[in-house]
Homo-oligomer: A and B are copies of this chain.
């Protein structure tokens, strides 16, 4: 039974703690048996049963729960660096999309690759996320937009899950955009999603959630109601991409549909905030996307003052958030969304686990839970997210096994 010693601060982020609290323990120790946490607390209180166990030296690092990235589009074919340059020059994202770029270009590039090729790329990206301390990843489809290609992407995620290391939560996002070939018959596409894709996804158990992008140029509220209603009847939970480019009333819709989370929310007003808080929908901020799209960021203090806890995720995708660097997103959540470093850490651990329905399994360090944790070379959480360095994660453990060490 290994025991991790010389931890300057252990930040368990336990469930049951009051909102905003991390439960920090100074001069701590952490013991695990097989893949589960067996004990944690102040080193001075380590029970004598653990005295003769294998000692692992944390080197004075702080230890935090394995990070949870609750919003990624991890499986995609091809990058879009050229569009980035266009956007820097001032071309609007929606104009690039109308000209054949944007999501539809990634759809074409993703359709062109077979499952094995996509799996190899996604596996390499996942390994990279692990080096940053990420141990749980929500992964969306949505770059296939045919029955065949959506299932192909979700099978890539099933294979990542079967690797047995990082925890993977899959989300079906067939309603990402209306694909070009359905442009003049969008109802037929919604039929395809509801009558063919969703039943196939459900019968193969390829996704836990269904997500819909509600926006001008994507799907309407009524279409979202139909799609997520169908998904719910098949046992899939609901998620929503809303209020990213304008206030489309998406927050109220998320509350009405009892979504587990609603993501983006840059333009959500007070009324939408109140409704989501009342319904217990987790708000997910994606500051990397706000940065890259040069948008007014979500004001997390408004949400927190209204009673919410805010999840922080990357939105990792090849267009609007082309980095999977979750600690960078956490720093941006502080500088752009006005979250404190503790709130940003909770937003990428305990709250992020809630946003993907894993609050009983991931996002906190508690006895009996899987030993997913990260050693971070910094004097404090405040210092980590303030003094940005390329990567302060010196070691990542998943199920008690060291999967990354610097």
Contact = CB atoms under 8 A, between A and B. Distances in A.
A386 B336 contact: no
A284 interface: no
Contacts of A387: 79, 81, 322-323
Give the 10 A-B CB pairs with smallest separation, nearest first. Answer: A390-B390, A81-B382, A84-B386, A323-B388, A390-B391, A81-B383, A81-B386, A322-B387, A88-B340, A88-B334
A383 B79 contact: yes
Given A132-B390, A382-B81, A386-B84, A90 B338 contact: yes
Interface in A309-350: 322-323, 325, 328, 332, 334-336, 338-342
Interface size class of A (residues with CB under 8 A): 35 or more
A89 interface: yes
Interface in A65-93: 79, 81-82, 84-85, 88-90
A389 interface: yes
A89 B390 contact: no
A18 B302 CA distance: 48
B90 A325 contact: no
Contact of A84 (B81, B84, B128, B334): B334
23 contacts: A79-B383, A79-B386, A81-B383, A82-B382, A84-B334, A84-B341, A84-B382, A85-B341, A85-B342, A85-B386, A88-B334, A88-B338, A88-B340, A90-B301, A291-B332, A291-B335, A294-B335, A322-B388, A323-B388, A325-B388, A328-B388, A390-B390, A391-B391
